[in-house]
Structure 1
Amino acid sequence: MPWFSVCDVKEIPEGSFKTFTLLGKKVAVFLRKGELYAISVMCRHQGADLSRGARQGDIFTCPRHHWQYNLYTGECLSNASLSLPKYPVRVKDARIEVELGGQIYD
């Protein structure tokens, strides 16, 4: 699967994120302590957009049924078997790139 260039590194300040739609998948890229993370932001319960829910620290809460997910690991705190896919992310020529085909599961 190819790498998708999503934005300039400077567009995501420390502690924040931006969302992108890549091949029909909603993906968020986060910057935390200088490290980038890319994760699906579609709730595994009913497909709600987690980026529209509440965020408290490292946790997103689904706006529909309040399932909770760790932003950086993808772990579903409400149902451990329904964690979110994480994707490889890299910086190339000051651009952030995400590879959708290389899902990472811990």
Structure 2
Amino acid sequence: MNFVEVASVNEIPAGETRHVEAKGIEIVLANVEGRIYAVSERCGHQNAPLSKGTLNENIITCPLHHAQFDVTTGKMISGMVELSLSGMDEAPQSVQEAMKAIGEMTSHIKTHDLQSFPVKVTGKRIFVAV
């Protein structure tokens, strides 16, 4: 495992995330109170990009099904959450049935922990071991 430079500290303000790639591996960097953490970019449920989600303290929430992970460890905090879309009850019956079927299929997909990567900050440069 070698450390690879992936970003600069000033590119990731506190409370923010950033998508990077190192040796072909997609990673999301998260700045939690000034400390940088690195975990797999793709959600452990259905592969959604976590950098498009939200970061609240050390918890990143998937933008697709709202699974939550601790960016300091990569551990899953909660699995997917079934979403309800406003106005769906006014959609055509065929659309409602399709959405229900998709929800039933995806609800059985297990959510896995994320891979966590060692991070080293040297000056303003961020390195991740991959």
Identify, as 1 or 2, the structure richer in strand: 1
Instruction: Report what 2:124 is aligned to.
Output: 94
Larger Rg: 2
- Percent of residue pairs identical: 36
User: Which stretches in structure 1 are left out of the alignment for 5+ residues?
Assistant: 101-106
Pick from 101, 112, 118: which aligns with 1:82?
Answer: 112
- More helix as a share of residues: 2
1:72 corresponds to: 72
Q: Return the alpha-carbon distance in structure 2 between the equivalents of residues 24 and 3 of structure 1.
A: 14
Partner of 2:6: 6
RMSD: 2.4
Q: Secondary structure at the match of 1:77?
A: strand
In structure 2, runs of 5+ residues without a counterpart are 80-110
- The total of aligned residue pairs comes to 100
Counterparts of 1:18-57 in structure 2 under 5 Å? 18-57=18-57
1:10/1:73 Cα in 2 relative to 1: closer, same or farther (>3 Å)?
Answer: same
What TM-score do the two structures reach when normalised by structure 1? 0.74
User: Could you tell which deviates more after superposition, 16-25 or 38-47?
Assistant: 16-25
Q: CA deviation at 1:55?
A: 3.8
